[in-house]
């Protein structure tokens, strides 16, 4: 494994073994309680996809979480290039640890730096403006929330929560807003938005209080732009909970106020 | 192939060939212009997944569209059971026609009729109420919209559009609402919501006018409940269009006003 200057890169490093197989490792420093964070877990697959396809950016990443990952264990990735296209390359990736599949991921890779992904310049654009929240210094660290779970991941990420959503079970709706960056100063890029889209407390926390571990069945992240350097602002809401299954929506903006990613996940309330 | 009483079932019929391989066919009666509708195209994979897993309902279906399907041609499905669980079974399916992969799909199958998918009854629920639109008789058939494309699919589906969104390029935002049911009276079920989630005009039509074929890169449908018999009401919006790529969100309700499915797709504006 190469020695990268930042934690996220060292701790998602991959090595090609040939025939679409890659070795990687999962460290426990990104855990939520006893389980590696799902956004961290797919970091190695996104990295292998970038290397295998030659496309720098994940445009859409859908992950089915099959079993919790194992922090502190090696892993093996199987990466299949499903279709290689001029603008988009589709991949399929599975992480195996201790003989069992941990997740199954499909992604379309592309290049967000080309100006336009369409054949012709598209003059129309629509966007969602960021919500108005206090600056990071006036928000509360996720470490200080009463979530009822240990958060080793806070050694790796700096996550600040808008005080409006920081007290368990006190809000009138399920929402969380705040800011996120790497703890060690690693610059943000398109690939890290896949991680940042799954690194906030469940938005049900503000409405229902301590909800513990909310296992994700399926998470899709759409990366819409490469972010400018700085903090990422994020907002997550849950307005759809039925029979123990919930859908959570997320939006991420960069410091220029551009919408850089959107997320949606199907998760289980235990 | 068995002779089912309804078009959708006959025209998505599958036959197991063993070792995860299934034969199917794609008819041209569900075309949008020259291309089979994407929601119809995955109908055979959803059916094979139901048969292979023994789970009656798709809970989440994500499809990467790789190439247009071929209407009027046979197809072969490869279906892999990725993980078989007590409550959820994850599958991977690929449709090949004329030697080329047409789509790659991942789905989690389950049973929406069990009351709760969580281990314990969950007392909390949140939902999104249907929007207020005119009844089907006061809406306009999708056949009568100036979309600039032939719609053979309207021989199979009865789609009514709220007049507010029915005139090309006259709205102040990208939205479409209306009603949908099968043309031949086939009852609606969880599996058909995957089709209905991809059978309306692009929501950009009301804002931008004739946008022609808007190819879907990725579509995820979350089925939240089994619908009661009757019409399905649907609403689609696009608030995020950048560099020719757009994200469209959808909500589907049954006649009891229950939210029965949600959709999100990443698509290309040509």
**Is the backbone of residue B127 left (phi > 0), alpha (psi -120 to 50) or beta?**
beta
**Interface with chain A: mutation pick from B45, B78, B218, B258, highest number of A CBs within 10 Å:** B218
Q: Is A149 helix (H, G, I), strand (E, B) or coil?
A: coil
Contact B124 A208 (CB under 8 A): yes
Nearest Cα to Cα of residue A27 among A182, A142, A152: A152
Q: How confident is the model at residue B145 (pLDDT cuts 50, 70, 90)?
A: confident
Region B23-29: what's the mean pLDDT?
Answer: 98
Which residues, in sequence order, are CB contacts of B209 under 8 Å at separation 6+? B168, B169
pLDDT at residue number B119: 62
Search chain B and give the residue with CA nearest A215: B118
**What is the DSSP pairing of strand A100-110 with strand A216-223?**
unpaired
Contact A60 B112 (CB under 8 A): no
Round to the nearest angstrom and report the end-to-end CA distance of chain B.
38
Measured in degrees and rounded to the nearest 5, phi and psi for residue A174 equal -90, 100
Q: Which of A101, A127, A245 is the closest to B240 by Cβ?
A: A127
Q: Is B20 helix (H, G, I), strand (E, B) or coil?
A: coil
- Per-residue H/E/C for chain B: CCCCCCHHHHCCCCEEEECCEEEEEECHHHEECCEECHHHHCHHHHHHHHHHHCCCEEEEEEEEECCCCCCCEEEEEEEEEEEECCCCEEEEEEEEECCEEEEEEEEEEECCCCCCCCCCCCCCCECCCCCCCCCHHHCEEHHHCCCCCCCHHHHCEEEEECHHHCCCCCCCCEEEEEEEEECCCCCCCHHHHHHHCCCCCCCHHHHHCCCCCCCEEEEEEEECCCCCCCCEEEEEEEEEEECCEEEEEEEEECCCCCEEEEEEEEEECC
Two tokens, residue B61:
């279906």
CA separation for the pair B263, B252 (Å, rounded):
8
Region B136-154: what's the mean pLDDT?
Answer: 91
For the stretch B106-133, pLDDT in tens is: 999 999 986 656 666 667 889 999 999 9
Q: Is A29 helix (H, G, I), strand (E, B) or coil?
A: helix
Query: How many CB atoms lie under 10 A from the CB of residue B231?
Result: 18
Neighbouring C-alpha atoms within 13 Å toward the C-beta of A244: 17
Size of interface A-B (CB pairs under 8 A): 175
Instruction: List per-residue pLDDT tens for chain A, 270 residues long.
Output: 457 899 999 999 999 999 999 999 999 999 999 999 999 999 999 999 999 999 999 999 999 999 999 999 999 999 999 999 989 999 999 999 999 999 999 999 999 986 656 666 667 889 999 999 999 999 999 988 888 889 999 999 999 999 999 999 999 999 999 999 999 999 999 999 999 999 999 999 999 998 878 899 999 999 999 999 999 999 999 999 998 999 999 999 999 999 999 999 999 998
Q: Which of A59, A92, A124 is the closest to B241 by Cβ?
A: A124
CA distance A111 to chain B (A): 11
Distances in Å between the Cα of B63 and the Cα atoms of A27, A61, A105 are 31, 11, 12
Two tokens, residue A255:
């410091």
Distances in Å between the Cα of B219 and the Cα atoms of A131, A146, B99, B240, B248 are 27, 36, 23, 15, 9
- Rg over alpha carbons for chain B, rounded to the nearest Å, is 18
Mean pLDDT of chain B: 94
**Residue B165 DSSP class:** G
CA separation for the pair A197, A265 (Å, rounded):
10
Q: How confident is the model at residue B3 (pLDDT cuts 50, 70, 90)?
A: confident
Q: How confident is the model at residue B146 (pLDDT cuts 50, 70, 90)?
A: confident
Contact B117 A270 (CB under 8 A): no
ipTM: 0.96
Q: Per-residue pLDDT for B249 more than 80?
A: yes
Residues from chain A contacting residue B82 (CB–CB below 8 Å): 64, 66, 94, 101, 104
Contact B262 A240 (CB under 8 A): yes
Q: Per-residue pLDDT for B147 more than 90?
A: no
Element (DSSP H or E) covering residue A219: strand A216-223
Q: Is A109 helix (H, G, I), strand (E, B) or coil?
A: strand
Nearest Cα to Cα of residue B66 among B96, B29, B101, B110: B101
Nearest Cα to Cα of residue A204 among A194, A214, A196: A214
CA separation for the pair B169, B258 (Å, rounded):
30
For the stretch B156-201, pLDDT in tens is: 999 999 999 999 999 999 999 999 999 999 999 999 999 999 999 9
Find the Cα–Cα–Cα–Cα dihedral A15, A19, A20, A21, rounded to 10°: -50
Q: Which of A115, A117, A264 is the closest to B264 by Cβ?
A: A264
Neighbouring C-alpha atoms within 13 Å toward the C-beta of B215: 18
**Residue B230 DSSP class:** S
- Give chain A's domains with CATH numbers: 7-112+135-268 (2.40.160.210)
In degrees, rounded to 5, the angle at the alpha carbon of residue B217 between the alpha carbons of residues A43 and B253 is 100
For chain A positions 119-158, those within 8 Å of chain B (CB to CB) are 119-122, 124-128
CA separation for the pair A142, A156 (Å, rounded):
12
Neighbouring C-alpha atoms within 13 Å toward the C-beta of B212: 5
pLDDT at residue number B211: 83
Share of chain B above pLDDT 70, in %: 96
pLDDT at residue number A116: 56
For chain A positions 30-69, those within 8 Å of chain B (CB to CB) are 59-60, 62, 64, 66-67
CA separation for the pair B156, B181 (Å, rounded):
9
pLDDT at residue number B114: 67
Question: Which residue shows structure tokens 């929240």?
Answer: A133
Residues from chain A contacting residue B101 (CB–CB below 8 Å): 82-83
Two tokens, residue B270:
């040509």
pLDDT at residue number B2: 56
Looking at chain A, how many residues does it have? Answer: 270
For the stretch B70-112, pLDDT in tens is: 999 999 999 999 999 989 999 999 999 999 999 999 999 999 9
- A245 in reach of chain B (CB within 8 A): yes
Query: How many CB atoms lie under 10 A from the CB of residue B2?
Result: 8
Find the Cα–Cα–Cα–Cα dihedral B161, A249, A203, B61, rounded to 10°: 90
CA separation for the pair A190, A111 (Å, rounded):
10
Residues from chain A contacting residue B174 (CB–CB below 8 Å): 126
**Residue B34 DSSP class:** T
**Interface with chain A: mutation pick from B122, B209, B241, B265, highest number of A CBs within 10 Å:** B122
CB distance A212 to A149 below 8 Å: yes
């Amino acid at each position: 494994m190469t020695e990268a200057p930042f934690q996220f890169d060292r701790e998602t490093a991959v090595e090609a073994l040939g025939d679409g197989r890659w070795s990687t490792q999962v460290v426990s420093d990104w855990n939520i309680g006893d389980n590696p964070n799902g956004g961290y877990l797919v970091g190695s697959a996104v990295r292998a996809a970038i290397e295998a396809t030659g496309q720098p950016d994940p445009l859409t990443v859908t992950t089915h979480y099959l079993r919790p990952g194992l922090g502190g264990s090696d892993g093996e990735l199987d990466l299949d290039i499903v279709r290689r296209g001029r603008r988009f390359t589709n991949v399929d990736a599975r992480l195996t640890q201790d003989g069992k599949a941990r997740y199954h991921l499909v992604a379309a890779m592309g290049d967000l730096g080309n100006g336009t992904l369409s054949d012709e310049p598209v003059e129309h654009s629509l966007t969602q403006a960021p919500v108005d929240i206090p600056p990071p210094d006036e928000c509360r660290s996720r470490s200080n929330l009463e979530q009822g779970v240990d958060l080793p991941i806070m050694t790796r990420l700096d996550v600040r929560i808008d005080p409006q959503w920081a007290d368990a079970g006190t809000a009138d709706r399920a929402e969380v807003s705040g800011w996120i960056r790497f703890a060690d100063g690693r610059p943000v890029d398109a690939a890290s938005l896949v991680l940042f889209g799954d690194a906030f407390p469940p938005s049900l926390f503000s409405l229902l209080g301590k909800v513990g571990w909310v296992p994700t069945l399926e998470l899709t992240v759409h990366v819409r732009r490469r972010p400018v350097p700085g903090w990422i602002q994020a907002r997550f809401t849950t307005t759809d909970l039925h029979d123990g299954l919930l859908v959570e929506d997320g939006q991420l903006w960069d410091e220029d106020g551009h919408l850089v990613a959107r997320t949606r996940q199907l998760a289980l309330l235990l």
